[in-house]
Structures are given as C-alpha cells and as structure tokens.
Amino acid sequence: MKTSKKQTSASLKKNMEKLAGKARDACRVLASLDSKKKNEVLCAMGSALLDHMGLILEANRKDVEAAQKKRLSKSFIERLTLDERRICEMAESLGEVSKLDDPVGVPIKAWARPNGLQISKVRVPIGVILVIYEARPNVTSDCAGLCFKSGNAVILKGGSDAIRSNEAIFNVLQREIVRAGLPSGTISFVETADRRAVDVLLQMDRYINLVMPRGGESLIREVRDKSRIPVIKHYKGVCHIFVDASADVAMAKNIVMNAKVQRPSVCNAVETLLVHQDIAEGFLPMMVQALQDAGVEVRGCSRTRRVMPNIRRAVEADWYAEYLDLILSVKVVKDVREAIDHINHYGSSHSDAIVTQDQQNAELFLKDVDSACVYVNASTRFTDGYQFGLGAEIGISTDRLHARGPMGLEELTTYKYVIRGTGQVRE
C-alpha cells in the first residue's frame, strides 16, 4: 500500500512538472507575441464562450447540484452558479481586455550615459503565473485573458467544487489557443482535485515566477506558508471612513451610504466608520437612522452607544472584521491621530477615506494611513482598475511589494534593462 501511495505521489509530481514545464516553454513564445495577434485570440476566446454556452451551463449545473448535495452555503452556491448573463459578461471582459493597451515592450524610461551607452528600462512579462482560486468560475476566463494579454503563461487551479465548470471554460479557451497556433502551455489547467497538486506546484520555482491566491484568508495564508515562489496577496478589505469634526455632514452621509450600501459584498466596501467626538452627537443619530433605513446593522463602541443606546455593542473582533454584508461597526475617536492609529492597527491596508474640510488633517491622513489607496472626500468604492482609468484588474493587492492596489496589465509585467553600446568597457 505504501509503495502504491508513493508511486501516486511521484506520478502527481511528474504530471505537475510536465504541466509547469510546458507553461515555461510557452512563456518564451508569448513574450514576443505581437499585440494584434493577442487581441484576435482574445476576441476569438470571447466568441467561443458564447458559442459553447450550453456546454458550459451543463457542466455548471452538475457542479451546482453536487454543491447542493454537499449542503454548501447559499452564498457559496451563488458564487458558483453561472447563467447566460454571466457567461456573456465573461465574453465581454475578454473583449475589453483586447482593447486595453499592451504593456509588453513599452519603455518605462530611457537615457544616455556620458560614455555613450544608451540605457532603456523596458516592460517584459513576468513569465509563468499560477492562479489559485475558489468557486467563481468566471475567474478562469478573467485570469486567462489578463495573463495572456500581458504575455504571461498561466496555470489555473480552481476550487474542486467548480471543477466541471472550470474545465468546460478552460477547454473552450484552450481550443482557441491551439487553433491560433500557440503552444498549449499558454493556458494550463490543473485537472486533478488532489489537494497535494498545489503543494507540489508551490515548490516549482524553476518554472513558476508568481503565485496569486484569490479567495478567503485561510487559502491565502496556506499558500503563503507553503510557497517557495513569490506570492502577491489579494487579501481582505477592512476599509474605513473617518468623518472629521469639520466634515460637510451631507457629503459624509452620502459617502458612507455609498461605501456601505451600494455593493456590500465587495472588498472596497466600508466596514468601519470612525467619527470625530466633537460631531458624534449631531452626526450619529442622522447617520445611523439612514443606515438602518437601508437595512444596515450598526454595531457601536461604548461612546457610540452613549449617543445611540439601542444599537448592538461592537466587540474587539468587529474592528478586524470584513463583513462583506450590510453590517457596519462605528467608533467615536478623539481626533484624526486616533483615527489613523486605529486604521493602521485594525485595517488591511486596502482603502481608507477621510471626510473633512480641514486641509491639514486631510494631508496628515493621506500621509500617515498606510494603505494602498487613501481618499479625501470620496467613497472607498472607487478602488477598482476601471474606476482609476487603468482597465481590468486581476485583483486588488494588499501586499507592499511589486504591486499595490488595483493590479492590472502593467502590474502583470516586470522590466529589463536594455543597454546599447559601441564597444564601451569599464575603466
């Protein structure tokens, strides 16, 4: 028995090595593929998704049935379920990516040295990217499209509960890759539900250059702990809005409502409201009423509850919580300094805003809040590649290295220095 298990493990390793090696070979071809060809293939992939809609929906129906049998949560099944509209959106996204500027080969800067050397710093693809995700099948085509456009080979490892849907989508995309004469390793799909496959891939730094886990905290932590390959984390969004003493109250209310209610399930929605003590008494009743009218459950610190005694008490865990739901924790703070310290301590370095008319406090907040996106007088909901004018994103990085905030095509590239000389040697 032991031998047979060992053999299985060896054969798993061999299969993963073959897959990763093919991706490595493909990325050499992709690095010099011209934009026109890439855009044609992206459009063809989009059309192919529409052409094979029935097939994809059928595969998805089986995944959903299995998930229901396993009594997985409603929100899980909601994320898993595809319909015609969602497949159309996936196809449209591929079309959108085809319209974005190709970052590969673009010079970031160029200069000449006194000895005549011409130096330029040029964008190049990262190489091979492993994306590990959970139950959203649209991630399959979204990530494939963005990695392909930025000249990277991608290895897709989705959650086992979505494996039929993901495989159906992958097969459709893969057929277009092969039809275009591109190497099959351009997009790879880990077909096994064996969890050890990920462990094996995370050791393959010879082939894979970057890992992006997309999913819950436990998945991200597990990947980080096991990976020998650099990881960029798209971690939770515990976003804050601080309403300063000098805030335009109507503006503050409008921003808080937008950031909490417009789409509570996303990472750039606000989770904690901080209110300056000097305006708490006037501001809180009006704000809480509006939130409650919109169906938001408000949880408050003791000072908040002195003004609004009927709301639930916020406990320590609330300050760390990413609710992704119609829940908001509220804390009264002494001043902008306490607000900043709270955010740096409890936040997730994602997106945080101050509402104020005080220029000094605004600048202090922008400088000292250590988050990817810091706002004055605007909703945190703008943290998004399209809203920033950068185009589609593969996620919002809460890491500090390589990419921070919305991670689009440019952030899926690195650079090389190209130096042209006429025989120069070093003195």
Stretch that binds its own copies, among 55-63, 175-183, 312-320, 402-410 (CB under 8 A): 402-410
CB nearer to its own copies: pick between 98 and 258:
258
3-state secondary structure of 347: coil
Among positions 127, 159, 237, 300, the unique one binding its own copies when judged by CB under 8 A: 127
Residue/partner pairs of 302-306 with CB below 8 Å, 24 or more apart: 303/277, 303/331, 303/332, 304/275, 304/280, 304/330, 304/331, 304/332
Question: Is residue 421 part of the contact set for its own copies (CB under 8 A)?
Answer: yes
Which residues lie closer than 8 Å to 224 by C-beta, 6 or more apart?
213, 231, 233
Strands (DSSP E) contained in 139-286 are 153-157, 187-189, 210-214, 239-243, 270-276
Q: Are the C-beta atoms of 132 and 215 separated by less than 8 Å?
A: yes
Strands (DSSP E) contained in 233-311 are 239-243, 270-276, 297-300
Closest approach of its own copies to the CB of residue 404, in Å? 6
Closest approach of its own copies to the CB of residue 355, in Å? 8
Among positions 159, 185, 264, 405, the unique one binding its own copies when judged by CB under 8 A: 405
Stretch that binds its own copies, among 59-67, 71-79, 118-126, 166-174 (CB under 8 A): 118-126
387: left (phi over 0), alpha (psi -120 to 50) or beta: alpha
Closest approach of its own copies to the CB of residue 32, in Å? 6
Instruction: Restricting to residues 347-386, name those near its own copies by CB under 8 A.
Output: 362, 366-368, 370-379, 381-383
CB nearer to its own copies: pick between 141 and 150:
150
Closest approach of its own copies to the CB of residue 350, in Å? 11
x-marked contacts with its own copies along 216-255 as a string, rule CB under 8 A: --------xx--x-xxx---------------x--x--xx
Among positions 55, 117, 286, 315, the unique one binding its own copies when judged by CB under 8 A: 117
Q: Cα separations (Å) of 361 from 248, 348, 366?
A: 14, 21, 9
Q: Are the C-beta atoms of 117 and 421 separated by less than 8 Å?
A: yes
Instruction: Restricting to residues 278-337, name those near its own copies by CB under 8 A.
Output: none
> Across the strands, what pairs with 122?
107, 416
Closest approach of its own copies to the CB of residue 310, in Å? 28
CB nearer to its own copies: pick between 106 and 419:
419
User: Cα–Cα distance between 7 and 78 in angstroms, integer?
Assistant: 39
Question: Is residue 206 part of the contact set for its own copies (CB under 8 A)?
Answer: no
Question: Is residue 37 part of the contact set for its own copies (CB under 8 A)?
Answer: no
Among positions 28, 99, 206, 312, the unique one binding its own copies when judged by CB under 8 A: 28
Among positions 12, 53, 88, 119, the unique one binding its own copies when judged by CB under 8 A: 119
x-marked contacts with its own copies along 82-111 as a string, rule CB under 8 A: -----------------------------x
Which residues lie closer than 8 Å to 126 by C-beta, 6 or more apart?
150, 152, 209, 210, 412, 413, 414
The helix (run of H) or strand (run of E) holding residue 83 is: none
Alpha carbon of residue 68 to chain centroid: 27
Evaluate the CA torsion angle 59, 61, 64, 66 in order and state its sign: negative
- Site residues (CB under 8 A) for its own copies? 28, 31-32, 111, 113, 117, 119, 124, 126-127, 205, 209-210, 224-225, 228, 230-232, 248, 251, 254-255, 257-259, 262, 344, 362, 366-368, 370-379, 381-383, 387-389, 399-402, 404-405, 414-426
